[in-house]
Amino acid sequence: MKEIKPKAEFLIEIANQVSNRLSGVYTVMATKSQEMKKYYGDNYYAIGPYYKKSADIEFEELSPPPEIKKIFDELQKEKIICHYGYWLIQGKPKTILVDFSGRLGELKKIKNSMAENYQVDCKTIGSKLKYRNIASSKVDPSDINLKLVWGDSTSKLVKKLLRLKFFKNKKGILHFHFADPSFTLIKDLKKENANVGLVVTAHSTWLGRTIIDNKDDLYKEIAKGLRNDRTVSKKREYKYGGKIVVYHHLELLAAKYSDVLTSVSEVTGKEMGYILGRQPDVITPNGLEMDRFPSLEDRTILHKESKEKIYRFLNAYFLPHYPIDIPHSLLFFTSGRYELTTKGYDILFNALSRLNDKLKKENYQNTIFVFLFILTSVKESNETILKNLGIYDVIEHAVREELPHLEKRIISSLIHGKEIKKEVLFDEHFLLESKKLMLKFSRGKSENPPICAFKGLKKDDPVMKFLLECGLDNQEDDKVKVIFYPSPVSVVDGLLSMDYDEAIRGMHLGIFPSMYEPWGYTPLETAAHGVMSITSDVSGFGRFILRNSKQTKKSGIKVLKTESKKKGEIVDELVEMLYRVSMLPRKKRIQEKLEAKKLSNLADWKEFAKYYVQAHNLAIEKMIKRQHGKKRQLLEK
């Protein structure tokens, strides 16, 4: 896309994810912020909720300018406390965080207003608040009732801001993200014919995701509906009830009143056409700041370092149970939300099971370890693994201390022409201590290694149940072994003891066979780290790769074909993809990693941010037409 200049003089971006790691929208906003700052400079603002736990980490509070402080003082009388400062991300946009805790008692009133004035039915969700204090570390920012109060409070703030001379005399943009209760502001400002363009970005639709979650064929339904010029049946949301009704009505509100509606991919665009009755005006794909990822030269060193840390963990995880050649193994992984069908984990587990059988029959000489970074609420690390890691570290330390003495004894034996014997190389104390450590480390020989690295999973946990049904239970003769890691990867978790990016860098392949994925950051991030990845053709990123890659055997990012295929056929294709990677010689693996890195660079925000500015410019044009139209109406009267 050619260079583009913004027609707007300021940009205010509003989302529940500002300074709040609630969903992928956080990643979108945080990673594109620096590019937005290049276009709008100090006239780029972000507005989000104030949750103390995240604000303490993500936010630097400052004294607000006098005119904004005056607004804050007015809002304080309405029990709304506003905090002004910087969001601590690249670009450091000016940010206002809204503390709405003083208005939680007004929830019922806000819900009634949503129904009467905006046609958002809130009767399907309970009115009982789980929290009295949003400063609590246990508060869940995704709670729909909290969002409703925040949205109403934010609406009051923005209306006052737009009356300030600084904003009132300029053409600006308000940019929202699906699906947010602040959408009520869009209808109000449209009615007032405010001097701002109203832009909304859809990252998915709640109803579409729910249809997939209930194992209905959404894409077949969409294709049929659009072919017959038909949208989803009215009141379909009530089939699922609860918050789905509220979010769907909010999305309908945004689709109806926004000046410009954008989507992260063509896939989501079709979904919006069917679910909401409006196609996007502009496609705004998700990118990354590619400059923050290691260069190819640095990546080689970092891959080796990360891989050694993962091998340390695998040694402690598997060697107490049976011997295994870990240094020559391959490392695969998947990651994402705990959605067995939507994320395609059922397809992946079936494919891994089939791959395991195939490799056993062929007497495959290596082992493939597959990490399943699928997050759930479990918190407690497996004590046995923690102890084994501790023993492993003691063994490693003991050996390293002994190595200089060993070196001297070998040299001495060679110089004096003596035969090198165990009794000469190792002193009695070292041999005795080594035997004790060996006994401690091998106490689990009678059982298989665990499938899950953590304790506290429910007995009927769907992932564990499905893994066992697929025969992925870490038997000694298995060529594919799995490690279910349901807690966020962290340097302080005591197990891998790495952050997520560091863990990815040590892998050989990331596998993401999603059946519903509006964009798909995980395969993009994987490739940006120089790791081969597999995505699907129903993801926005997969479609992007299909347009920009010939999908030859050398392609470092493979796209799994799923459309118009039965599940068994999809599993067959994934098995072949995984088998091919498992058989690649090291030199070819390196070539494909380089290709993956090269392809990922196409999704740089330096290029993709232009589409956001394009959407903003279109909104300004529509806003000007809207205002001219209103003036004509007044003159005619």
Position 390 scores a pLDDT of: 85
Position 381 scores a pLDDT of: 83
Position 511 scores a pLDDT of: 98
| Residues whose CB is less than 8 angstroms from the CB of residue 342 and which lie 6 or more positions away in sequence, other chains included | 209, 212, 213, 514, 515, 516
- pLDDT at residue 442 greater than cutoff 60: no
Q: Beta strand 44-49 with 196-202: parallel, antiparallel or unpaired?
A: unpaired
Position 634 scores a pLDDT of: 61
Position 627 scores a pLDDT of: 87
Spacing of C-alpha 272 from chain mean position? 21
Which range, of 136-145, 276-285, 555-564, 609-618, averages the lowest pLDDT? 136-145
Which residues is 370 bridged to in the sheet?
A: 332, 482
- C-alpha distance across the termini of the chain, in Å: 44
- For 122, 235, 360, the CA distances from 241, given in Å and listed in that order, are 10, 10, 47
**Three-class SS of residue 374?**
strand
Average pLDDT on 209-225 reads 91
- For 471, 544, 601, the CA distances from 595, given in Å and listed in that order, are 34, 15, 10
| Top-ranked range on mean pLDDT: pick from 345-354, 383-392, 556-565 | 345-354
CA–CA gap between residue 424 and residue 469 (Å, rounded): 53
Do the Cβ atoms of 352 and 482 come closer than 8 Å?
A: yes
Q: Which of 512, 538, 485 is nearest to 596 (CA)?
A: 512
Q: 129-147 burial string, b = 16+ CB within 10 Å, else e? A: eeeeebeeeebebebbbbb
Q: Is the peptide bond before 179 cis (omega within 30 degrees of 0)?
A: yes
The pLDDT-based confidence of 407 (bands split at 50, 70, 90) is confident
Position 508 scores a pLDDT of: 97
- pLDDT at residue 218 greater than cutoff 60: yes
The pLDDT-based confidence of 22 (bands split at 50, 70, 90) is confident
- Tens digit of pLDDT for each residue in 229-266? 999 998 999 999 999 999 999 999 999 999 999 999 99
Q: Which of 226, 335, 268, 275 is nearest to 539 (CA)?
A: 268
The token pair that represents 244 in the structure block: 């789905």
- pLDDT at residue 565 greater than cutoff 80: yes
Do the Cβ atoms of 406 and 368 come closer than 8 Å?
A: no
CA–CA gap between residue 538 and residue 551 (Å, rounded): 16
- pLDDT at residue 545 greater than cutoff 80: yes
- pLDDT at residue 408 greater than cutoff 90: no
CA–CA gap between residue 534 and residue 168 (Å, rounded): 49
Position 137 scores a pLDDT of: 62
Query: Can you give the C-alpha Rg of the chain in angstroms?
Result: 28
Q: Beta strand 81-87 with 59-61: parallel, antiparallel or unpaired?
A: antiparallel
Average pLDDT on 432-461 reads 78
The token pair that represents 598 in the structure block: 């090269």
The token pair that represents 624 in the structure block: 């000007």
Q: Is the overall model pTM greater than 0.75, yes or no?
A: yes
Position 119 scores a pLDDT of: 96
Residue where the block lists tokens 């939680």: 104
The percent of residues above 90 in pLDDT, for the chain, comes to 74
The pLDDT-based confidence of 426 (bands split at 50, 70, 90) is confident
The percent of residues above 70 in pLDDT, for the chain, comes to 96
Position 514 scores a pLDDT of: 95
CA angle 49, 53, 58 (to 5 degrees): 70
CA–CA gap between residue 449 and residue 509 (Å, rounded): 23
CA–CA gap between residue 355 and residue 357 (Å, rounded): 5
